[in-house]
């Protein structure tokens, strides 16, 4: 496993306990796992896009970022 022996893994785990505390380690592991799952999910969604469909067709689905931003009527315009 990456050339790490048992002793090195124990030292790394001990340092993590000292840095984050024993109560925070499960929370950190859970959030790390969730982030990895979301990343893999977004990668698989990108791969499922048809080869003939380019990125501009995907973004033209009517999202708010396509329209130029307009100032709100209640905000005064200062020039």
* Predicted local distance difference test score (pLDDT) of residue 31: 94
* Predicted local distance difference test score (pLDDT) of residue 49: 73
Record the tokens describing residue 12, joined without a space. 């790394």
Q: What is the mean pLDDT of each run of 10 residues along the chain (79 residues)?
A: 85 91 90 94 82 57 57 66
* Predicted local distance difference test score (pLDDT) of residue 18: 92
Residues 16 and 72: their CA atoms lie apart, in Å, by 48
* Predicted local distance difference test score (pLDDT) of residue 3: 85
- pTM of the predicted protein model: 0.45
* Cα dihedral 13→18→19→25 (10° resolution): 60
Domain ranges of the chain: 22-46
């Amino acid at each position: 496993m990456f050339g790490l022996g048992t002793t090195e893994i124990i030292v790394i785990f001990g340092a993590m306990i000292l840095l984050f505390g024993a109560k925070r380690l499960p929370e950190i592991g859970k959030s790390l796992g969730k982030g990895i799952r979301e990343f893999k999910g977004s990668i698989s969604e990108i791969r499922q896009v048809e080869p003939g469909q380019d990125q501009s067709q995907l973004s033209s689905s009517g999202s708010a970022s396509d329209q130029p931003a307009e100032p709100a009527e209640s905000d005064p315009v200062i020039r």
